[in-house]
Structure 1
Amino acid sequence: MKDGINHRIAARVRELRGRSGLSLEALADACGVSRSMISLVERGESSPTAVVLEKLATGLGVSLATLFEPPAAAAHPVSRRADQVEWRDPASGYLRRNVSPGGYPSPIQIVEVQFPAGARVAYETAARPGTTHQQVWVLQGKIEITLGEDRHELDAGDCLAMVLDRPITYRNPTSRPARYCVVIVAPRPV
Structure 2
Amino acid sequence: MKDDSSVNGRIAQQVRLLRSERGLSLDALSNQCGVSRSMLSLIERGETSPTAVVLDKLAAGLGVPLASLFDDPASRAEPVARFADQVVWQDPHSGYLRRNVSPEGFQSPTRIVDVTFPPQARVTYEAGARTPAVLQQIWILEGRMEIAYGADTYQLETGDCLAVPLDAPISFHNPGDLPARYAVVLTTIARS
Residue 132 of structure 1 aligns to a residue in which SS?
strand
Structure 1 runs (4+) deviating above 4 angstroms are none
One-letter amino acid matched to 2:134 = T
Q: Which residue in the other structure is 2:34 paired with?
A: 32
Residue deviations 1:19-64 (CA, integer Å, cap 9, x gap):
1111100000000000000000000001100000000000000011
Give the alignment's TM-score, normalised by structure 1. 0.97
Q: Distance in 2 between matches of 1:21 and 1:138?
A: 39
Residue deviations 1:41-93 (CA, integer Å, cap 9, x gap):
00000110000000000000001101011114311111000110000000000
Number of matched residues? Answer: 188
- 1:13-162 paired onto structure 2 within 5 Å: 13-162=15-164
Residue 36 of structure 1 aligns to a residue in which SS?
helix
Deviation, structure 1 residue 11: 0.4
One-letter amino acid matched to 1:43 = R
Q: Are the aligned partners of 2:135 and 2:189 in contact in 1 as well (CA < 8 Å)?
A: no
Q: Distance in 2 between matches of 1:120 and 1:36?
A: 26
| Aligned-residue RMSD, C-alpha | 1.0
Deviation, structure 1 residue 138: 0.2
Q: Are the aligned partners of 2:72 and 2:104 in contact in 1 as well (CA < 8 Å)?
A: yes
Q: Are the aligned partners of 1:33 and 1:56 in contact in 2 as well (CA < 8 Å)?
A: yes
Identity within the alignment, %:
59
Residue deviations 1:95-121 (CA, integer Å, cap 9, x gap):
000000011000000000000000100
Q: Distance in 2 between matches of 1:19 and 1:30?
A: 15
One-letter amino acid matched to 2:120 = G
Residue deviations 1:117-168 (CA, integer Å, cap 9, x gap):
0010000001211210000000000001111101111000000111111000
Q: Distance in 1 between matches of 2:133 and 2:18?
A: 19
Q: Are the aligned partners of 1:93 and 1:115 in contact in 2 as well (CA < 8 Å)?
A: yes
Q: Distance in 1 between matches of 2:31 and 2:116?
A: 32
Q: Distance in 2 between matches of 1:52 and 1:58?
A: 10
* Residue segments in structure 1 that go unaligned for 5+ positions in a row: none
Q: Which residue in the other structure is 1:5 paired with?
A: 7
